A and B are shown apart, each in its own frame.
Chain A
Amino acid sequence: MLAYNLQLAWLSLRQTPGLSALAVLAIAVGLGILMTIQAQSYQMRSLPVGEDTENIYLVQMDNRDIDAQNIEEAAQLPSLSYRDAINLLDSDTPAQQQTIVWKTRGIVNTREQDINPVRAPAVVTTHSFFSMFNTPFLYGSGWSEEAGRRGDAVVVITRRLNNTLFGGEDSVGRQITVINAVATVVGVLDEWTIKSQFYDRSFFRGFSDDIFIPQEFAASMNLPRYTQIQCAPAEMRRMAAFRLGDIQTIMNSECGWINLWAEFDSESSVQDYRDFMFRYVEEQKALGRFPREQNNFLENIIEHQNAALNRDDRFKLYQRLAWFFAGVCLLNTIVILLAKYIRKTKEVALRRALGAKRNTLLGQYLIELMVIGLIGGFLGIAVAYLGLQGMLEVYMYGTDYVFPRSAVNQLYSLDWKLIQNALLIGISSTIIAGLYPIWKVCNIAPAPQLKTE
């Protein structure tokens, strides 16, 4: 029966090839444009780093002055002061593991200085960074907790930097210079696919960081703080000292600049951590810090990412335009399908007169619509693929090819879930568009139509 209906649908499509093709084209283009934008939105809104990182939260506590502006969104609140970050990091907390992150830049070379120095964006962090974010290692591993604590001169570098410095050889145990200090490579990261640089809250997409430095070692080298620093207005004039002067200056300040990430194994431990933060702030209040009412945030990595995306006005514009365009295409489809089915008036009248039930005809036309929707859906996926490739090219060109393609191309890719959605949207929107036309043609009284023949 299904085969018979499909055959009928095919015959009916062939009867009005021009209009059927137009309907398919309208669906394909509308869906293609919509999917091009939705795919990016979907990719940007998924976890920035592997699926098993969904239990990672950013810790924030409002230690600002009493007269600072109220902040109700986590995304607006500065990161932690050094003192609080280290206090929490060193406490026995309900979190499974914690790590801190801030950014710097290192001028890097081999110990032998046999190439020109390379400027490498760098992450200062702790040993747990690698296990928390499941970074893949090509050679070696991260540093141990003890090595971090002792301030050992060790670093982890990326595959890219390893290629530049050592021509891709296993460089574990080799020495490099970072600005004026000498450090030993303990690990080389393999290609680490992340959707954006989430760990410093920048959610930047582009250059990857090339070197990972333990906190104690970075502090002893007095590395500059090329990281987001937020201070009370009165402190702003000391910004140069905070960034480039003695690191103790910023460590002793109340400025927010350290990102503390915590990983949990259960929902209840998240709640326990919130209580823990509350008690911690109460203790600090007793010491005369935290002048404001308690305002702590423990929000998931994905919520921070989405808040960053919501600030992207250009993308919002694209999204709105995409819906507009899909709307136009849908209206187009309705009109084309109406034209297509009204042409069948005589055929329907004849079949009705010969005893065909209205529902049988409706069913047949529904199947035809599904076929149109399915073809339109597949073509729409092709359009979306081209659209995404086009947008990737535009992005690469627009940013002067300074970012490696691998850093951004996953944002411009389709996966099975998106393809499945595209087919569903294609079929369902065709049916919605075709409901009125097929309803109208099936409800025509046969007699007057036949009389005119």
Chain B
Amino acid sequence: MGIRPLLLSLKQNKFIALMVILQIALTLAAVSHSAFSTSALLKDWNVASGLDEQNLIVSRAQFFVDNPDRESAIVQDLENLSRLPGVEYVTTANQIPFAANSVSNVYRETGDDAQRYLASVFELNDAALDVLGVELVAGRNFYPNEVIRGELSATTEYPSVVMISEALSEEMFPGENALGKTLWPVKDNQPAEIIGIYTNYMTGEILNGVGKSYNSAIRPMALWSANRFDPGYLMRVEPGAAERLLEDARTAIYRLPGRYLYNNEVLTRTKKRIYDGRGSQSMLMLGISAVLILITAFGIAGLASFLVSQRQKQIGIRRALGATKKDILRYFLAENSLLTVVGLLLGAAVTIGIAVKYPALTGDGALRYDLILAVGLFLWLVNIIAVYLPAKRASNVEPAAVIG
């Protein structure tokens, strides 16, 4: 069957053909834009955390009285917390997994043109790996005497050792053994020797957003600064004990007066927070897109059924002249596909035009041709399904019924 009869027939229904084309074009443009945004939002969404977050608790408090004895507070807190039944390991922590929003550059060398490597630097103590429950892949753990504690401005000697994650090791030392190499945690400041490489764990939203979720380094230290910040505590607890222990941890922290507990939660909750915003935005976009596609499909189905009922006579004549049921079915599907293809081409042009002209308007996403193609193919499929029933009905028209 050639394309000529299709075009001739569409000429009879120019307006309807135009409307279908426009509708498909607009649907493609709208759904593609939601798809751009969604794919950007869901990049690295909910990737493996590398942790048993359900067995990890964070408690962070801050002093509000003047000149408290922070050193002895830390010693006492560590003792009080590790004595709680159910708590297995405790470490001081400047930041915690899933919420590590202090991201810095680390270096392999000194100098102005030293290459930067993006990473979250965690300041923990010698229990770090036990608390996190990550495995040592190579090298050794910190010794207790390597942990440095002190007031920020009074500290001149920084830890001489550091551990890094597998991901950071691969990025900084591709194909090499990172053990024994030197790393500068702060540009041109005191370097540290890499003594251990551990399995990856999730850092936080910032690195997750740039696809470097697992770039981390651990330094054995706990620093504080008057009026600014106090280290928090990260605890590994027995399976199933986390929720129960929150209240105990709160009580333990409040045994020292003059401070305020501002964060006390199981890490599952912290984890939920980094993904939920993006996840729910995406669900919303996808939901609205689905409704839109459904409405378009209904419209196309309604239209096809209208065309079928309008052409009862022609169908009957064609059937009487020897067209098979299949021919009729194929005719309607081909007619619809022709309109769909023109609509999709127009829609793709509109989508690309908008995305190029107003890059800021694509939301969080960028123009992606593969997504336009995928959405286009999907719309085509939906349209074929929408047209199939009316077309099937057309193919069942009895030749005799209309001629009589």
Contacts and interface: CB of A to CB of B under 8 A. Distances in A.
A325 B292 contact: yes
Nearest to A397: B280
Contacts of A400: 269, 272-273, 276
B260 A335 contact: no
Contacts, number: 128
B377 interface: no
13 contacts: A19-B306, A33-B288, A244-B228, A316-B361, A317-B363, A321-B34, A321-B288, A328-B292, A328-B295, A331-B26, A331-B299, A342-B310, A394-B280
A338 B19 contact: yes
Contact of A342 (B29, B30, B306): B306
A334 B18 CA distance: 11
Contacts of A119: 260, 262
A332 B306 contact: no
A19 B303 CA distance: 9
B30 A324 contact: yes
5 interchain residue pairs of minimum CB distance: A339-B306, A324-B30, A332-B299, A317-B363, A107-B64
Nearest to A394: B280
Interface string A1-43: 0000000000000000011001001100110010000000000
Interface of A: 18-19, 22, 25-26, 29-30, 33, 107, 113, 116-119, 179-180, 224, 240, 244, 313-314, 316-317, 320-321, 324-325, 327-329, 331-332, 334-336, 338-339, 342-343, 390-391, 394-395, 397-400, 436, 440
Given A321-B30, A324-B30, A338 B15 contact: yes
B277 A398 contact: yes
B50 interface: no
Majority DSSP secondary structure for residues of A touching B: helix
A331 B64 CA distance: 62
B302 A19 contact: yes
Contacts of A343: 306, 309
Contacts of B42: none
A163 B287 CA distance: 40
Interface residues of B, number: 55
A363 to B, nearest CB: 23
B400 interface: no
Contacts of B23: 328, 331-332, 335
Contact of B281 (A22, A33, A179, A314): A314
B134 to A, nearest CB: 26
Contacts of A25: 295, 298
Contact of A313 (B27, B65, B302, B360): B360
Nearest to B287: A390
Given A180-B66, A331-B22, A335-B19, A29 B295 contact: yes
B314 interface: no
B91 interface: no
Contact of B276 (A334, A339, A397): A397
A376 to B, nearest CB: 12
A390 B281 CA distance: 11
B369 interface: no
Contacts of B280: 394-395, 397-398
B279 to A, nearest CB: 8
